[in-house]
């Protein structure tokens, strides 16, 4: 039987978190467009009408999911004190945080990277777009710092190197699982070996 009861206070926040988690799983496997509000509601034991108490639309669920994911990621980058690190250590820290975030939130990571290119120009996604630009700037600042100091090659454009490294890091969520005998720390070191050794100034 579907539960139609709504809650308030901390109970409402828990329910919203459950809805976001269920939506992330469905969006990651089927896409936002192909997922219905009824399917999300069924996953958390609500009827569609009750779900609208927590979110006014499917789009609002997607906006909060993506925006919350990006804010958490940006907070983790900020916590690392990246600007105080030398370029190689800064890139290592960025990779570590990104891998840990992907491992902790694989569904949200997949939704963001699969869907956001088609959503970023929509008005409701302005905040997410701004957060994405700030996150991209963190990666680029680290790479450009390495190029300015002579640690990294300058003949490879920073934006190109950023795209190669970023995509390799984030797309690990599609093949690495918690059961994989490949620790995140080892994966991070291997990324640095593959990407930076080819980028290091000779």
Judged against a pLDDT cut of 60, whether residue 7 lies above it is answered with no
The structural domains of the chain, ordered by start, are: 1-56 (1.10.10.60), 62-196 (1.10.357.10)
Reported as a single tens digit per residue, the pLDDT across 59-87 is 999 999 999 999 999 999 999 999 999 99
Mean pLDDT score across all residues of the chain: 91
CA dist., res. 190 & res. 186, Å (int): 6
186-193 contacts at long range (C-beta below 8 A, 24 or more positions apart)? 187/99, 188/92, 188/95, 188/96, 188/99, 191/95, 191/165, 192/88, 192/91, 192/92, 192/95
**Average pLDDT of the segment spanning 177-183:** 81
Predicted local distance difference test score (pLDDT) of residue 2 = 44
Average pLDDT score over residue span 87-107: 95
Helix (H) and strand (E) counts in the chain? 9, 0
Q: Looking at the predicted structure, is the pLDDT value of residue 58 above 60?
A: yes
DSSP type of residue 156: S
101-119 residue pLDDT tens: 999 999 999 999 999 988 8
Question: 4 pLDDT exceeds 50?
Answer: no
pLDDT value, residue 156: 92
Tell me how far apart the alpha carbons of residues 49 and 189 are, in angstroms, rounded to a whole number: 49
Q: What is the pLDDT of residues 15-56, one digit of tens each?
A: 999 999 999 999 999 999 999 999 999 999 999 899 999 999
Distance between CA atoms of residues 36 and 160, nearest Å:
37
**Quick check: 43 and 86 in contact, CB under 8 A?**
no
Q: Which of 58, 137, 72 is nearest to 109 (CA)?
A: 72
Give the global pTM.
0.88
Question: What share of the chain in percent tops pLDDT 70?
Answer: 94
């Amino acid at each position: 039987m579907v539960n139609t009861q709504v809650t308030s206070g901390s109970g409402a926040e828990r329910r919203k978190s459950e809805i976001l988690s269920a939506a992330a799983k469905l969006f990651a496997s089927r896409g936002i467009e192909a997922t219905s509000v009824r399917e999300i509601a069924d996953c958390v034991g609500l009827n569609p009408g009750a779900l609208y108490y927590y979110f006014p639309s499917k789009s609002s669920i997607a906006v909060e999911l993506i925006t919350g994911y990006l804010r958490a990621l940006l907070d983790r980058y900020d916590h690392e004190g990246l600007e105080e690190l030398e370029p190689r250590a800064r890139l290592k820290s960025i990779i570590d945080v990104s891998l840990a975030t992907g491992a902790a939130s694989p569904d949200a990571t997949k939704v963001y990277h699969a869907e956001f290119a088609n959503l970023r120009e929509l008005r409701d996604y302005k905040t997410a777009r701004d957060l994405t630009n700030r996150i991209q700037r963190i990666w680029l600042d680290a790479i450009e710092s390495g190029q300015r100091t002579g640690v990294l090659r300058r003949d490879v454009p920073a934006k190109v190197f950023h795209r190669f490294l970023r995509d390799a890091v984030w797309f690990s969520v599609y093949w690495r699982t918690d059961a994989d005998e490949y620790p995140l720390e080892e994966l991070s070191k291997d990324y640095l070996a593959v990407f930076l050794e080819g980028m290091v100034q000779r």
